[in-house]
Amino acid sequence: MPLKKDFCRLCWCQASLDAKGTVTVLAPYLERVHHHQLFFAWMQKPRQPGRRVGKRGRRPLRPQQPPVPAANPATGCIQLRFFDDSRDFTRFDRLQHGNLTNPWLLWAQHVARRLGEARGWTKWVVSDVDRALVILLSQHIEGETIRYSELLPALRAHGLNAKRTVEVIDRIGLFEDDREPSFDRWIERKIANVAPGIRQAAETWARQLCHGGPRSQPRALSTCWNYLNKLQPIMLAWSDRYDHLREVTREDIVAVRDDVLGKQRENRLAALRSLFRHAKKTGAIFRDPTSRVRVGCQSYAVLQPLPSDNISRPSLPSPPRRTGSSSPWLPSTPPGRERSVNSSWTTSTSATGASSWPGTRARWTTSPTEPSSAGWNTAAPAGPTPPIPTC
């Protein structure tokens, strides 16, 4: 029988039962065992109370008690600050500065738990948000706000999610968004040299175009960019002569419209209409100079025939069929020139009009404006039109 310190396994079990709840050293209890022990199979050690879990019979962890819901600690008594300086959360040390009993921290953790249950956050997300709240609210005092420019460096240094943390502290009313949109900076840079009277109306129009208004939907960001880019040189030219949009007349709009042709004229007039309609709606001007100003007829260049002196007749020799090609009409071209060959091929016809497709040579075709007197492609092949090969 295998022994351990001159005692068998059953003696060790009996000593463990005698010493249960008192001490962990079994040597004195082993000396008191002087008789043989008898245990039934699988009963040498009593089963622990509760349900067995796992292969080794471990008990599950005790369920954690849900935290007591915290209350909003706002009292209304605010201690004003003498200096409005920014705080550096990157120097936070949990051992030195961590205060887990701060009422604002407890309230934020309670809000974060409820928000996480509603949004389905994973336990890792909840843990990251909790760590971020400890950094931001351990030393928080009522009346203070947390700026985005203050929290972002600290959370980024610890690899924590700033978006969900901002959502939590915004729900408890402690977040101050000091970010400046890039679109607003772009507007200020675009109209910096415009006259003040024109710049004020253009800035209000551009912001409402992007963000929308009480009775207007926001437009696409690309539309705002295109409109302001088209009107910037016009407003700079008007700034040399006028101080306000009220001084712009219908003749100025027509002159600006006639400077461009085609689609550019239509886009420029659409941007001008949007600007002046908004200015009239807000009371910046009394009359809209773009009203009843039409785009006008679109003038296009006339297609001229190609002179006979500029016509050349390059021809290609009759190529053999490509080995393994699915189409018998594809010529055999070098690998590097397969994409440079024109896809419009024609064939020669015999004197009787019978087409020798695809046995004869292939030639280039010209544009539809080429005069028929050049003698190209004047005879049509007999029978059904063969498919046009592509390269």
Is residue 312 pLDDT above 50, yes or no?
Answer: yes
SS3 294: coil
The span from the CA of 158 to the CA of 175, in Å, is 20
Q: Which of 227, 387, 373 is nearest to 311 (CA)?
A: 373
Count of C-beta atoms within a 10 Å radius of residue 27: 11
Is residue 171 pLDDT above 60, yes or no?
Answer: yes
Q: What is the mean pLDDT of residues 226-251?
A: 92
- The answer to whether the beta carbons of residues 195 and 242 sit under 8 Å apart is yes
Residues sharing a CB contact under 8 Å with residue 328, sequence separation 6 or more, in sequence order: 321, 358
pLDDT exceeding 70 applies to what percent of the chain?
66
Q: What is the mean pLDDT of residues 355-377?
A: 45
Q: Which of 378, 266, 391, 268 is nearest to 331 (CA)?
A: 391
Amino acid at 207: R
The span from the CA of 57 to the CA of 181, in Å, is 59
Q: What is the pLDDT of residues 126-157, one digit of tens each?
A: 999 999 999 999 988 888 889 998 899 999 99
Confidence of residue 98 (pLDDT cuts 50, 70, 90): confident
Confidence of residue 379 (pLDDT cuts 50, 70, 90): very low
Comparing 221 with 365, which gets the higher pLDDT? 221
The kind and range of the H/E element at 37 are none
Q: What is the mean pLDDT of residues 311-323?
A: 58
Most confident residue range from 6-20, 66-80, 165-179:
165-179
The span from the CA of 270 to the CA of 286, in Å, is 20
Confidence of residue 338 (pLDDT cuts 50, 70, 90): very low
Pairing of β 362-364 and β 345-347: antiparallel
- The answer to whether the beta carbons of residues 162 and 101 sit under 8 Å apart is no
- Strands of 177-322 (E only): list them: none
The span from the CA of 136 to the CA of 72, in Å, is 17
Count the residues in the chain: 391
Q: Phi, psi at residue 344, to the nearest 5°?
A: -95, 105
SS3 363: strand
- The answer to whether the beta carbons of residues 34 and 27 sit under 8 Å apart is no
**pTM above the 0.85 mark?**
no
Most confident residue range from 15-19, 46-50, 333-337, 364-368:
15-19
Comparing 281 with 181, which gets the higher pLDDT? 281
The span from the CA of 154 to the CA of 159, in Å, is 9
Q: Is the peptide bond before 358 cis (omega within 30 degrees of 0)?
A: yes
Count of C-beta atoms within a 10 Å radius of residue 276: 23
pLDDT of residue 39: 65
Is residue 317 pLDDT above 70, yes or no?
Answer: no
Mean predicted lDDT score pLDDT of the chain: 76
DSSP calls for 374-390: G-SS-SPPSSSPPPPP-
Confidence of residue 274 (pLDDT cuts 50, 70, 90): very high
Confidence of residue 342 (pLDDT cuts 50, 70, 90): very low
Note the Cα 16 to chain centre separation in Å: 64
Q: What are the residue ranges spanned by the domains of the chain?
A: 1-46, 89-176, 182-281
